[in-house]
Structure 1
């Protein structure tokens, strides 16, 4: 299917591709680009007839289709109110006698349109697509004046969603002209079954009664069907059924699309529309003797590894600068091993949904919320917009679920407007009558679209009413806390339970699923901009322990303006989770495998040297790919010994991999090393041929007795320093200096009686560069954003006490020079000031789970041997001054209970 105009002119047009590739005609004209623009601060445009008088100056130029608040629009002013657009256009359809339509992808919020001075229509709603027929107003020869008045006042009844990151004001999706014959195809819906049966429901607009032929041709002639229909003048609803032999099913792994054309032939010509469908079935089912359901795709269980997508771009806001960037976002999700995305509090642009269809990722699409009271005006506005959204996006096979509301936003009535004669003991402002309305919306959506799952409200207040998915949100930090919470939710989930429901409603056997989680809000003052790799691994591990739980939504796909817990930065650059250095070959996608090994143990433990750890193993399967096979659970206990990787022990366990769900695989016993070590138990699930399926790990802080031949000094035990700013963290185990400066340590070696001859001296330490944050210099500041966090409030991230930037593609290097008694004996490049899962000790020794202290931070092992000539002098003096001299990038030094390596500043002698 051709989805992009291929001519030289389109190179200058922003977003030149056809905006609705699921419903595309060949004869169209893209109106994106430069329009004249003017704010109407005093609301005088209608009275002064700006719609007709082309001589009234529109001082500014705006680039459509970008919101006037966004930088890409060329206006870049977040001004609520009224904006007018004007453009002169010459265009004629390829076929004479065609009807002409002016189409809008989306305009926020109220829109009036004039063509050549005549009002052709209006529309209310910020997210739905709409059109006006302008055949009688359009001049086929000469110039046409199009004038558009848009108004966005942020009314409480508007379905605005979460626009605070960047307001969507005025036109924010493509505007185009489209030609059609007198009789043409309107909306058409495909309903597919995995046996190959496809039901097509089409609307045909006829200018007169008579016969017409409706035909379809998909997959290069593989699928063909035609019927003759009798039409009446006006709108005609037509239904027909056809079969696809040997159907290729759509899944995220095999996103098979049947692309082709629908044709309507009549005496007034032929209307031809390029479109597509995917054959798949979404449902829920019980398996075995379970009293609860799982989500199914094509009749099989599917574990939903998902992320929350704010769908926000820093320059275009909700409008992406290019089609390629939307394509690349779906690619970025899939490279993480995700199979699902929740589009948050907004319907997605059809182009991005097209790429979800084409590349293969399941989509949960939210309806946008209003922020005022759920009064009659808000309800009517919401209902109208929800209908537009579901109708427009119905044919995207990627969409498996509609979410009608989120976190009860817009559903709570302001107590000031309520009858509170019952006293202050008003139980909840989510009133029974509002609950009844939400239930009506759930049932309405189910009737409108019985092919998908519908959720009444994605709750953070345990307040479902009726839903196909029993979801909930949690933002909790700390392994013990996450584990206890998930165990509690699991125990309280069963048919008839009142948990997670409100107003006397109870649970059915609907699938249990998490629809928001993460460590961004589970921390006092918010998580700031910190490492999420450690938390993420143990949370995924805990999820897969529960047989009832069939999916999650991690907050979030990319960082946004005040939430920094994305897999990627806002600009699309990547973050380094560090798993591959702990388990060779491991990436974050291992944690999203449908076949999974659960290590039912804490992410890290302190054990004595040579102690034996017992680690229960569980298998979790949501795929039949390996069922019936003998799988291998391969394991090894590995650790770093002064820069050398040591394997303490290893082994393999054969398991019968049969059936879906969670199964007990027994207990693995592993003996710890005899040295101080950060030991990592790396576990790999391998298929019958030995190929890795997924990887997992836990860590141990092993306490040995490594004092022989060692002089150790804590980083904070310096005798002097020359930094402008220096400070300690991690309970004194870590010490940092900003910018250029030195830490100086007095080292006392064993006397000659204890050690007559020192043959060799080696200096070892863990050090990183030091990226200086505002809080390091000025002190931290607490920012309580409240609901403002949902509207883009400034997080003041560098003042947040929890902030310690996660390792990513942006580096902050430094250099560390090592001096002994003023003589430089070595120099080390410190590439960065990293924080990720490799900072095991910086995570293990966090004193409070919901307050982070340089969490996950670590450095690089610096190791040098003292030159022989200097060694001879030290053999006589038995003491020296060790100076750690940092260049402009500063230095941070890690002690025994911090960073990646279990050592203080260490001098080894022999």
Structure 2
């Protein structure tokens, strides 16, 4: 927001200003995007976070001209990066790219037009080698510098291809890859959705990698940009959910039936579907689409993000085929899982299923999309002294000890998940990284002080997953 007109500068009054923000948040009494925040938390819904919970800052810019936004689109096939620099008024643009302390490319052009910078033999970004390119962008007019900013990007390509056997697979930088992620909801007991510190964000990302996961599913929450910065630099791929709104009117019995019967199918384009999803109001639907577009534009320069997930478990789901097409046009560089869980409409890159409490399902034979178990597991272990509420517990299967949890998780991976890889399974998300309020099914307790399964056990099992996938794919990586 532009607050220039509200400032009183160079006057006899003290140049001290107080910025007041008035926000009305109906939480789950409204249909706006809110994620899992509710006024009466329980089960898989959590305490609402009030106030300004993400980073706020003020910066001064030249009112006549300044950089409005930057979009960087790397192309590993052509060895170049396209820069779109939008400014308040027309300006000359110069770009310098540096890698590992060396100048590797320069380019120049005009704002509002794509500028291509060629990088010879670019080093590609991956979880094993998160190679980052730094860039300096200057805008000027009549050879007078107006503004200079620094940013970064990476050369990374994620796509779905048909492999030599005729199956659809995910490819990272031209090589087949199996995505295995924990569900990461981004809550902390002391601060709700607000990360308590930079170190807290780094801890979660580092621990995810130490467990052997190459990816994280950021669940129904948009983190501060700082979180994605650390994911970029540390090398963790991210599946990014949109924030859900509307309503979820399904009972627990209804959810169990859907899980048991292959996710079901139900139209999401009729007035009745809009009503069930809490989307009968046209303005509410437009608001969701505006928020979704805003999220993508806000985060699209982060190389760690490799997938957009517009809807989860039919919460507020509507017009998902049209919305998936719109996301694809807005950002063709990433994968799309339009409806994670159920009410699949046949669009996007994945046949996406959630499976709890029953045996993991075999990929459907007639669906050529990548089979993605986008949530599974959720094995509980209660750790005394580290519970949010020891009178209320939620999970899908409760183990009695760390040893039984280790054994149960090992059996789940070896006996159920790994055998599905040869049948076409291409990605999976285990629930979850940490406990969250009364959910006690994390690898870590909510306070992050107790790790329930040894890291070496989880990592070894992840190595088995990748090894089996590489064997079947004929890859040596």
- Secondary structure, aligned partner of 2:181: strand
Distance 1:360 1:450 in 2: 22
Q: Are residue 217 (structure 1) and residue 217 (structure 2) matched?
A: no
Q: Are residue 410 (structure 1) and residue 316 (structure 2) matched?
A: yes
What do the CA deviations read for 1:501-526 (whole angstroms, capped 9, x no partner)? xxxxxx3x2211110001449x9984
Which protein has greater RCO, CA pairs closer than 8 Å, 6+ apart?
2
Flag the 1:538–1:527 CA change in 2: closer, same or farther, 3 A. Answer: closer
Q: Is the 8 A contact 1:475 1:520 kept in 2?
A: no
Distance 2:149 2:231 in 1: 21
Please point out which of 462, 473, 480 is paired with 2:354.
473
- How far does residue 386 in structure 1 lie from its aligned partner after superposition? 0.8
Q: Which residue of 2 is the match for residue 543 of structure 1?
A: 417
Q: Which residue of 1 is the match for residue 373 of structure 2?
A: 514
Q: Is the 8 A contact 1:183 1:266 kept in 2?
A: no
Q: Which residue of 1 is the match for residue 53 of structure 2?
A: 172
Q: Following superposition of structure 1 onto structure 2, how do residues 636-647 of structure 1 map, counting pairs within 5 Å?
A: none
Q: Are residue 199 (structure 1) and residue 82 (structure 2) matched?
A: yes
- Secondary structure, aligned partner of 1:147: coil
- Secondary structure, aligned partner of 1:237: coil
- How far does residue 257 in structure 1 lie from its aligned partner after superposition? 0.7
- Secondary structure, aligned partner of 1:148: coil
Q: Are residue 575 (structure 1) and residue 455 (structure 2) matched?
A: no
Q: Which residue of 1 is the match for residue 365 of structure 2?
A: 493
- How far does residue 595 in structure 1 lie from its aligned partner after superposition? 6.3
- How far does residue 462 in structure 1 lie from its aligned partner after superposition? 5.0
Distance 1:135 1:538 in 2: 61
- How far does residue 545 in structure 1 lie from its aligned partner after superposition? 1.8
What do the CA deviations read for 1:115-152 (whole angstroms, capped 9, x no partner)? xxxxxxxxxxxxxxxxx122333234521232211111
Distance 2:315 2:18 in 1: 41
Distance 1:327 1:294 in 2: 30
The structure where strand makes up a greater share of residues is: 1
Q: Are residue 278 (structure 1) and residue 140 (structure 2) matched?
A: no
Flag the 1:324–1:242 CA change in 2: closer, same or farther, 3 A. Answer: same
Q: Following superposition of structure 1 onto structure 2, how do residues 309-328 of structure 1 map, counting pairs within 5 Å?
A: 309-328=184-203
Q: Which residue of 2 is the match for residue 146 of structure 1?
A: 19
- How far does residue 369 in structure 1 lie from its aligned partner after superposition? 0.9
Q: Following superposition of structure 1 onto structure 2, how do residues 103-502 of structure 1 map, counting pairs within 5 Å?
A: 132-141=1-10, 142-154=15-27, 155-163=29-37, 164-181=45-62, 182-195=64-77, 196-206=79-89, 212-219=92-99, 220-229=101-110, 237-267=112-142, 269-290=145-166, 292-372=167-247, 373-375=278-280, 376-411=282-317, 434=318, 437-459=319-341, 461=342, 463-476=344-357, 482=359, 485-486=360-361, 489-490=362-363, 492-494=364-366
Distance 2:80 2:418 in 1: 35
Q: Is the 8 A contact 2:96 2:103 kept in 1?
A: no
What do the CA deviations read for 1:849-873 (whole angstroms, capped 9, x no partner)? xxxxxxxxxxxxxxxxxxxxxxxxx
Distance 2:150 2:332 in 1: 25
What do the CA deviations read for 1:148-194 (whole angstroms, capped 9, x no partner)? 11111124321011124231223111221112233222221111122
Please point out which of 423, 428, 433 is paired with 1:552.
428
Displaced runs of 4+ in structure 1, greater than 4 A?
Answer: 523-526, 528-531, 594-597
What do the CA deviations read for 1:200-244 (whole angstroms, capped 9, x no partner)? 1221211xx5x5233233324423323242xxxxxx622111111
The structure where helix makes up a greater share of residues is: 2
Q: CA RMSD in A?
A: 2.5
Distance 2:164 2:235 in 1: 29
Flag the 1:371–1:535 CA change in 2: closer, same or farther, 3 A. Answer: farther
Q: Which residue of 1 is the match for residue 42 of structure 2?
A: none
- Secondary structure, aligned partner of 1:146: coil
Q: Which residue of 2 is the match for residue 534 of structure 1?
A: 407
Q: Is the 8 A contact 1:189 1:202 kept in 2?
A: yes
Which structure is larger by alpha-carbon Rg, 1 or 2?
1
- Secondary structure, aligned partner of 2:438: coil
Instruction: Could you tell me which runs of 5 or more consecutive residues in structure 1 were left unpaired when the two chains were aligned.
Output: 1-131, 230-235, 412-433, 495-506, 580-585, 598-619, 623-656, 662-686, 688-692, 694-910
Distance 2:92 2:394 in 1: 66
Distance 1:525 1:567 in 2: 13
Q: Is the 8 A contact 1:544 1:596 kept in 2?
A: no
Distance 1:136 1:529 in 2: 60
Distance 2:58 2:395 in 1: 50
Please point out which of 457, 463, 471 is paired with 1:593.
463
Distance 2:307 2:372 in 1: 13
Q: Is the 8 A contact 1:458 1:473 kept in 2?
A: yes
